[in-house]
Amino acid sequence: MHVRTTITTLAAAAALSTAATSATAATEPLSEPRVAAHFSLAASQQPENITVDRTGSAYLTFSFARQIVRIAPGGRPHVMATLPAPAKASTPNLGKAFVGGIARAGDGTLYVTYATGTADLTGVWAVRPGGRPHRIAALPADGLPNGLALDQHTHRLYVTDSVHGVIYRLPARGGEATVWAHGGALHPSTFAGANGLKLHNGAVWATNLDQGTVLRIPITARGTAGGIQVRATGMPSIDDFAFTGHGDTLLAARDDNEVDLVRPDGTHTAVLTAADGLETPTSVAVHGSTVYVPSAAYLTNEDPNLLLAHLDR
């Protein structure tokens, strides 16, 4: 998540479209980038985070519309839930209510983070299949819960707070959230610290937007946080990310209209750019050989969309 400017509302709402747009600027190992869906900026349809199920259906959070949507392959967005609006939002850094990270359990339950600046709504919310959204854990109203990851084995959720610069952990069934990891590497310096979040190979991985870093935090045998390891640097405005496979290579979205390939040794290369259709990309998902990149147009104020690309294994 990265929103430094007020989102400009367009005068007229654009209809949703799934027409593919060709582009040719992708760099190996990505190819065949295409914009598969365009969203309405006027309706605040700005995708912040994404998860993908085994069928290839994408589940997205529309941050300022407070919505969770599903897009089946080749389909149109279907609104699954809308989170309740606060009486008066006072979300830190943003002012308006913000739906951030999303994770999906094997039974189809969707979890999202929600920040409103109010104690009654800020926290982690769940939507079970056929159910209504409900809060399962409160988080500090003066923080900005953002990235979210689910440990399918221990049934615990991990959450980044971009204002407080910590990672929380809580039971997926609901309950009290506790600080799992903290430290200077997670802190913000000007706007937002700990941001994107993934579980991978026995560790929690996170990004720090202000510091431009990728971090790895081992999960110890007791389930506590090990020492924070800086795995990559020099990526200003880095947002969320996804691993390309079983190894530690990942693809990271940056709000300066780049998606970077980050190698295990910390080196990184831009593999998608604005020439491919990126409009303030916010997150990445990888499903088989397909890469999904939502763009929220937070800074371009032009064309929020969902880009797909082929991952050459």
Mean pLDDT calculated for residue range 60-71 = 97
Q: What is the rounded CA–CA span in Å between residue 103 and residue 85?
A: 21
Q: What is the rounded CA–CA span in Å between residue 294 and residue 24?
A: 18
CA angle 193, 272, 243 (to 5 degrees): 60
Other Cβ atoms less than 10 A from the Cβ of 138: the count is 15
- The rounded radius of gyration (Å) of the Cα atoms in the chain is 18
Strand, coil or helix: 47 = strand
pLDDT of residue 277: 95
Contact call for residues 217 and 167 (beta carbons, < 8 A): yes
What is the tens place of the pLDDT at every residue in 5-55? 333 322 223 333 333 444 456 888 999 999 999 999 999 999 999 999 999
Instruction: Tell which residue, 93, 83, 101, has the closest CA to residue 3.
Output: 93
Contact call for residues 116 and 141 (beta carbons, < 8 A): yes
Contacts of 19 (CB under 8 A, 6+ apart): 38
Contact call for residues 264 and 247 (beta carbons, < 8 A): yes
Per DSSP, which regions of 63-143 are E strands? Answer: 67-71, 78-82, 98-104, 110-115, 123-127, 134-138
Mean pLDDT calculated for residue range 97-122 = 97
Q: What percent of the chain has pLDDT over 70?
A: 92
Return the percent helix, strand and coil in the chain, to nearest 5. 0, 45, 50
User: Which of 143-166 are b and which e, b meaning 16 or more Cβ less than 10 Å from the residue's Cβ?
Assistant: bbbbbbbbbeeeebbbbbbbbbbb
Contact call for residues 125 and 133 (beta carbons, < 8 A): yes
What is the tens place of the pLDDT at every residue in 114-153? 999 999 999 999 999 989 999 999 999 999 999 999 999 9
Q: What is the rounded CA–CA span in Å between residue 104 and residue 107?
A: 8
- φ, ψ for residue 184, nearest 5 deg: -60, -30
On the CB side of 117, how many CA atoms lie within 13 Å of its CA? 13
C-alpha distances (whole Å) from 59 to each of 52, 126, 199, 269, 297 are 6, 13, 18, 27, 18
What is the tens place of the pLDDT at every residue in 261-302? 999 999 999 999 999 999 999 999 999 999 999 999 999 999
